[in-house]
Amino acid sequence: MFLLALEAASRGVLETSELGNSKPKGVMVPPTTLDPWTHFGVGYGNKQSKKSSTLGNQPISLAMKQQKNRSEQMACQGKLSLHVLLALFVLLSSCKANTRSKTEAEALLKWNKSLPDQLILKSWVAHINSSASSPCKWHGIACNDEGSITEINLAYAGLRGNLQNLDFSSFPNLLHLDLGVNKLTGTIPTNIGTLSKLQYLDLSTNSLNGSLPLSLANLTQVYLLDFSQNNITGKLDSRLFPNVTGKSKTGLISLKYFILHINKLGGRIPEEVGNLKYPVLLALGGNYFCGPVPPSIGNLSHLTTLGLCQNELSGQIPVSLGKLKLTRLFLLINRLSGSVPDEIGNLSSLVTLQLAFNNFTGQLPQQVCQGGKLVNFTAAFNFFTGPIPVSLKNCRTLYRVRLEHNQLTGYIDQDFGVYPNLTYIDLSYNSGEIPKEIVQLSKMGFLELSSNQLCGEILAEIGKLSKLLKLILKDNKLSVEVLAGIGGLSNLDSHDLSIKMLGGPIPHQIGDCWKLQSLSLSKNYLNGIIPYQIGNLRALQDLDLSFNSLMGGIPPQLGSLSDLEYLNLSNNNLNGSIPTSLGSMVSLISINLSNNNLEGPLPEGRIFQSAEPEALSNNKDLCGEIQDLEAYVSDFGTARFLKLDSSNWTTVADTYDYLALEAKKHGIVPPSGPNPFAYIPDRPAVVGSRT
C-alpha cells in the first residue's frame, strides 16, 4: 500500500499541469472544499478568499489574482509532495528495519538455544509486544539508529559451546565481533565470510580448531583479525591476501592487525603476505611455520611489530627487514642461521630485539641501539662471536639484556656503560672482565656473569646495587676475597658464587642480606669460620658452603633458619659436635655434613634419623640413631679393632648387646675370647647400611 501511494504521489507531481479541479492520476480526490492531499493527513490551512481586493488603492484584475493563486498553490503542492515522499520513505525504512531486527534477533536466539545454559545470556529472551524484545537491549549487543545490530561483544564472558548455529548472514550491518577469551570449541564457520561490512573480528583465546576458512578473504573491510591462542591447524592460504597487482577486490586488503600466534598452523608463510598495504602488527609466533622468512615482508612499510618467534623457520634474516620502521622484532626459538644483517642496525626505532635460541653466527649488529631506544635485547644461545655491539655503550634505555651462551669476547668494562633502568643482565658463558661501572646500575635486579673467563676484582662497592635480587658469578677465575660490601644487598634472594677460586673468609656482613633465599659459595678456597650471622637469614632455603677449607664448629645459630630445606657443609675442616639446634629444623629435607672432623652424638630429630649414611660419613667420631641402626660409628665401613680402653669403645659401650644382635642378623661370627666383638670385619658398604 505504501508503494502504491508513493507511486501515485510521484505521478501526481509530474502529471498535474494546472490546479482547479485537476488531480493526480489514479488518486481519489475529496470535494474541492478540501485540500486535494488531506487524505494523506497533511493540510495547507485556510484557502485564499475569492473576493476582489485592492493594493495601494489600485484595483487588481480578477485574472491576475487567479493567476497568483494558481502559482501559490502549485508551489505549495510541490513542497507537500516532497514531505509526503520523505514520510513514506521513513515509513518504508522503519518497516524494513523492523523486519531486519526481527531476523537478527531470531538468529541470536537460535544460537543461544544451541549453547549450554549460561547466565551471561539471560537477557537474550523474546518478549511479545515489549521493547525488551529488541536485541539492541540485550547484553553484549549494540545497534545503529535503525535498530540493526552493529556490534556483538561477549569477550571474557565464559561462553561455552560452538559457532555452528550462529547464522552470520543474518547480520548485514555487523561491524564489530568480539568473542575472545571464552571456552568456544569447534571450527570457524565458512559463512563468517558473509559479514561484508565487518571491521573487527576477535575469536582469540578459545579452543577453536580446524583450518582458517577461505571465505575470510571476503572480509575486505576488516582491519583487525585475531585468532590467537586456539588450536587452528592447516596452512595459511595465499588466497587470503590480495594479489601483487594491488587491484584485488577480495582478500584482507584493509588488514592492520593480523594476530595468529599460539596455534598449530604449519607450512610456509606465503609470499603474498607482503602484498598487504596497511599492516602495523603481524604476529605469527608459536606455530609450526617452516621455511624462510618471506623477503616480501619488507614491503610492509607501516609494520612496527613482527612476531615470528617459536616456529621452525630456517635460513637467514631477509635484508629487506632493514627497510621497515620496526619497533619490535621477535625471531627467537627458530632454526635461523647465518649472520644478522647489518641493516637490522638501521632500525632506529627498535625497542625490542629478540634473536635467542637460533643458530646465528658472526657478529652482533654493532649499531643495534643507534636510535637510542632499545629496551629489551636478547641474543642468547647462539654462536655469535666478536665484540659486544659498540652502540650498547651509550644505550641508556636498556632494561633487559641476555647474551649468555655465545662466544663473545672483549672487555665488559669497555663495552658497557651506565644504564639507569637496567634490571636484568645475563652475560654468562662468554669472556671478559667485570666492569667498575657495574655498581652504577642502581635498578639492577638480576646479574649473571657465570662461566666466562672473568678475572679481576669483585668490588666491595657492589653493595650499592641495593635492588639486586639475584647475583650469579659461578664458574669464573676470580681470585680475590668474597665481597666485603655484600651486606648492602638487602633485597638479594639468590647468591651463587660457586666454582670460581674465591679465597679468604666469608664476610659477616652477609648476615645483613635478610631476604636471601639461596646462598651458594661452594667449590672455592674459603677459609676461616662460618659466620654466626648467617643465622639471621631467616628466609634462607638453600645453603651450600661445600668444598672449601672452612674450619671451626658449626654455628648453633643455623638452627634458627626455620625455612631452610637444603644444608650442605660437606668437604671442609669443620670440627666439634653437631649443634643440637639442627635437630629441631622441621623444614630441613636434606643435610650433608660428610668429610669433616665432626664427632659426638647425633642430635635428636627427624632429619638425622632419616639421613642417608653417606651424608654423615668420613667424620672423626659420630654416633647415634640413624635409619634403624641405633649404634652408628662413622668409620664403621673399614676394618678396625674396638679396644676396651679406647674412646671408640666408650661410644658404643651402652649398645654392646645391640651390636651383638645386629652382627648375628648379618651373619657375622665373632671370634671367641673375652671381647667377642673386638673385631669387626671389612664390609663393602658405608657404615650403617644393611648390605
- Give residue-wise pLDDT tens across range 98-138: 566 788 999 999 999 999 999 999 999 876 555 556 899 99
- Going by C-alpha positions, the residue among 631, 630, 629 that lies closest to residue 642 is 631
Average pLDDT of the chain, as a whole number: 76
CA distance linking residue 257 with residue 605, whole number of Å: 63
Structural contact between residues 578 and 602, judged by C-beta atoms closer than 8 angstroms: yes
Structure-block grid coordinates of residue 471: 647475583
- Going by C-alpha positions, the residue among 255, 311, 313, 321 that lies closest to residue 285 is 311
Q: Which of 348-352, 366-370, 454-458, 469-473 has the lowest mean pLDDT?
A: 454-458
**In this structure, how many other beta carbons lie within 10 angstroms of the beta carbon of residue 225?**
23
110 to 151, 164, 334: CA distances (angstroms):
18, 11, 45
User: Could you tell me the CATH superfamily of domain 339-501?
Assistant: Ribonuclease Inhibitor (3.80.10.10)
CA distance linking residue 121 with residue 205, whole number of Å: 20
Structure-block grid coordinates of residue 247: 587491484
CA distance linking residue 516 with residue 541, whole number of Å: 8
Whether 592 has a pLDDT exceeding 70, the answer reads yes
Question: What CATH number labels 97-233?
Answer: 3.80.10.10
Domain residue ranges of the chain, discontinuous segments joined by +: 97-233, 339-501, 510-628
Query: Residue 648: which pLDDT band, with cuts at 50, 70 and 90?
Result: very low
- Going by C-alpha positions, the residue among 259, 263, 134 that lies closest to residue 201 is 259
Do 339-501 and 510-628 come out as alike in CATH topology? yes
498 to 450, 474, 523, 525, 540: CA distances (angstroms):
9, 5, 6, 10, 17
Q: Report residue 50 CA to chain centroid gap.
A: 87
CA distance linking residue 67 with residue 69, whole number of Å: 5
CA distance linking residue 461 with residue 481, whole number of Å: 13
pLDDT in tens, 261-302: 999 999 999 999 999 999 999 999 999 999 999 999 999 999
Whether 535 has a pLDDT exceeding 80, the answer reads yes
pLDDT in tens, 380-437: 999 999 888 888 888 889 988 898 888 888 666 566 766 778 777 777 766 655 565 6
**What pLDDT does 346 receive?**
84
CA distance linking residue 360 with residue 88, whole number of Å: 72
Q: Which position has the higher pLDDT, 479 or 338?
A: 338
Average pLDDT, integer, range 637-657: 34
For the CA atoms of 145, 151, 157, 163, what is the dihedral angle to 10 degrees?
A: 130
Whether 38 has a pLDDT exceeding 50, the answer reads no
Q: Which position has the higher pLDDT, 254 or 499?
A: 254
Q: What is the DSSP letter of 235?
A: B
Share of the chain above pLDDT 70, in %: 63
CA distance linking residue 265 with residue 269, whole number of Å: 10
Query: What is the CATH architecture of 510-628?
Result: Alpha-Beta Horseshoe (3.80)
**What pLDDT does 199 receive?**
98
